[in-house]
Amino acid sequence: MRMMNRRRLLLDATSGMGGLALACLLGQADAVATESQAASDNPTGGVRPVPDIDPRDPFAPRPGHFAPQAKRVLVIFCAGACSQLDTFDHKPELIRRHGQPLPGAENLVTFQGSQGNLTRSPWEFKPRGECGKMISELVPHLGELADDLCFLHSLTGKTNTHGPGENLMSTGFTLDGFPSMGAWLTWGLGTESENLPAYVAIPDPRGTPQSSVNNWGPGFLPAAYQGTDFHADKPLRNLRRPPGIDEAADLKTRQFLDRLNRRHAERYPGDGELAARISSYELAARMQLSVPAVGDLSTESPETLKLYGADDTENPLKAAYARNCILARRLLEQGVRCVQLFNGAYQTGGEGVSNWDGHKDLAGQYAKHGPVFDQPTAGLLRDLKRRGLLNDTLVVWCTEFGRMPTYQAGASGRDHNPEGFTAFLAGAGVKTPMSYGATDEFGYKAVENVLTVHDFHATILHLLGLDHQRLTFYHNGIQRRLTDVHGHVIRDVLA
């Protein structure tokens, strides 16, 4: 028998420890896989909140966790941080103390520097509707709809920077790489439209918001659930037939491709990725017919164009945004689950700029941009209501954060303010007219029924029949969700 020396002992011991470590790692991986599989089979707390998705039909309509009050959602996002103090959050004390320092914050430094004195809005506020809600003359058309709106005046954010703020409002996180709310919704519920995307993002006619496609991206969810972006004046890319190919040849080509795909799928039964890819190609083929039809606004009546302001030849930017609003309505009519409509694009400064980022000359910028936003948005709400779509559509108006009650030192505009801002809800399942929560007497900080963006998202999901705590996806060892580990449904605003 060979005697073991010290060197041999150490070598064997080291090898044995490595083997133990490998076995431990493999055991953990096994446990994770088992846990993940068990979670996906558990609809009450695991990966899937609903029955397993058929990769051959990833957008098939699926039930939520409970009966929904809304079938679909329209998110109207004013990118650029629309000022609550110049639109919907009336502050008499700000008017009375105009020109005085903000009490207790005389040396306040915010996102872009030192703050000047309290500054009242350049626009008067007037009582609107039967409820008498005080709304600014900057948005008179929306003011007329006060009785149909539920205002949330006490939202708070986590950042004072546009890109991360847009991320937070659209995805629940300030960082890039997380699924948008529309992606979560369509992953959880599918869609009622067979020939259109489940989730459509309509950027501002001038371009994308600052965080761009993060606002409608799929994050770590399957790529199929990314929003499809196009607007009324910019059709979906690569949709038209190439020149020289007629409709008959195009149809025969698609039919031949379909036969090849089916034959290929039969050779690899159970391959979910292959089935999903074939499904996406088939949807793209159907969209060649459906998207041009839904985007053809020539069928709209002159009365409808006038209602939205799409016939305004003196304000082409307003008319372009109005056409996007009409497109949003047409998509909702066709059963698209989530439509995200943007007003405001990322722009640098310059004379004549029209957007919501009013740092230097708020009165000048908003005087241009208010009319671009007001009539078309109000027209969209009126049109949804008269067609009966508000009965089962949830409308959400939001922005990434609010504005300061002071003007910036040396400027005539308001700085970024995530400490208290406004959003509103309308439509299915929402109490109206209503104003919930409040900022302080100057509109600086939320002080009553303070809300987070997670609360906001939890409430939206609830109205569509989804429990925000159960809508989860296993990613990098964590059961991720839109609301992270936070959020409460705002039950006081539910009808």
List the chain domain ranges.
Answer: 1-40, 72-235+295-493, 240-294
As a whole number of angstroms, the distance between CA 351 and CA 371 comes to 18
Within 8 A by CB and 6+ apart from 227, the residues are 180, 182, 183, 197, 199, 200, 201, 216, 217, 338, 340
Position 2 scores a pLDDT of 52
437 Rama sector, left if φ>0, alpha if ψ -120 to 50, beta otherwise: left
Position 211 scores a pLDDT of 95
Residue 262: burial class (beta carbons within 10 Å; 0-12, 13-18, 19+): exposed
Q: Per-residue confidence at 5, pLDDT binned at 50, 70, 90?
A: low
Q: Is the pLDDT of residue 351 over 80?
A: no
Q: Per-residue confidence at 19, pLDDT binned at 50, 70, 90?
A: very low
For the segment 298-308, what is each residue's pLDDT rounded down to a tens digit?
Answer: 999 999 999 99
Q: Higher model confidence: residue 35 or residue 101?
A: 101
423 Rama sector, left if φ>0, alpha if ψ -120 to 50, beta otherwise: beta
Average pLDDT over residues 421-446: 98
As a whole number of angstroms, the distance between CA 182 and CA 482 comes to 10
For the segment 139-164, what is each residue's pLDDT rounded down to a tens digit?
Answer: 999 999 999 999 999 999 999 999 99
Average pLDDT over residues 458-480: 96
As a whole number of angstroms, the distance between CA 53 and CA 491 comes to 30
As a whole number of angstroms, the distance between CA 285 and CA 289 comes to 8
Q: How many CB atoms lie within 10 A of CB 101?
A: 15
SS3 152: strand
Average pLDDT over residues 292-301: 91
For the segment 244-281, what is each residue's pLDDT rounded down to a tens digit?
Answer: 788 788 778 777 877 887 888 778 787 766 766 766 66
DSSP letter string, 321-339: HHHHHHHHHHHHHTT-SEE
Which of 14-18, 359-363, 454-458, 476-480 shows the lowest mean pLDDT across its residues? 14-18
CA distances to 257, 267, 329 from 398, in Å: 43, 49, 18
As a whole number of angstroms, the distance between CA 13 and CA 93 comes to 77
Q: How many CB atoms lie within 10 A of CB 419?
A: 21
The pTM for the full model equals: 0.86
Q: Per-residue confidence at 4, pLDDT binned at 50, 70, 90?
A: low
Cβ 196 vs Cβ 336: under 8 Å: yes
Q: Is the pLDDT of residue 23 over 50?
A: no
Q: Is the pLDDT of residue 8 over 90?
A: no
Q: Higher model confidence: residue 411 or residue 237?
A: 411
Position 28 scores a pLDDT of 38
Helical (H) or strand (E) element with 447: strand 446-448
Q: Is the pLDDT of residue 194 over 50?
A: yes
Position 236 scores a pLDDT of 72
For the segment 43-99, what is each residue's pLDDT rounded down to a tens digit?
Answer: 334 444 445 788 778 899 999 999 999 999 999 999 999 999 999 999 999 999 999
Q: Is the pLDDT of residue 1 over 60?
A: no
Strands 228-229 and 451-452: unpaired
As a whole number of angstroms, the distance between CA 423 and CA 420 comes to 10
Token couple for 142: 């929306």
Q: Is the pLDDT of residue 3 over 70?
A: no
CA distances to 110, 120, 386, 463 from 249, in Å: 62, 65, 42, 46
Average pLDDT over residues 37-41: 37
Q: Per-residue confidence at 191, pLDDT binned at 50, 70, 90?
A: very high
Average pLDDT over residues 205-212: 93
- In angstroms and rounded to an integer, the radius of gyration of the C-alpha atoms of the chain is 26
Strands 402-403 and 416-417: antiparallel
As a whole number of angstroms, the distance between CA 440 and CA 95 comes to 14
Position 102 scores a pLDDT of 95
As a whole number of angstroms, the distance between CA 232 and CA 62 comes to 29
Q: At what angle do helices 272-294 and 247-267 cross, to 10 degrees?
A: 160
Average pLDDT over residues 468-492: 96
Average pLDDT, rounded, for the chain? 88
Which one of 3.90.650.10, 3.40.50.720, 3.40.1080.10, 3.40.720.10 gives the CATH number of domain 72-235+295-493? 3.40.720.10
Position 461 scores a pLDDT of 98
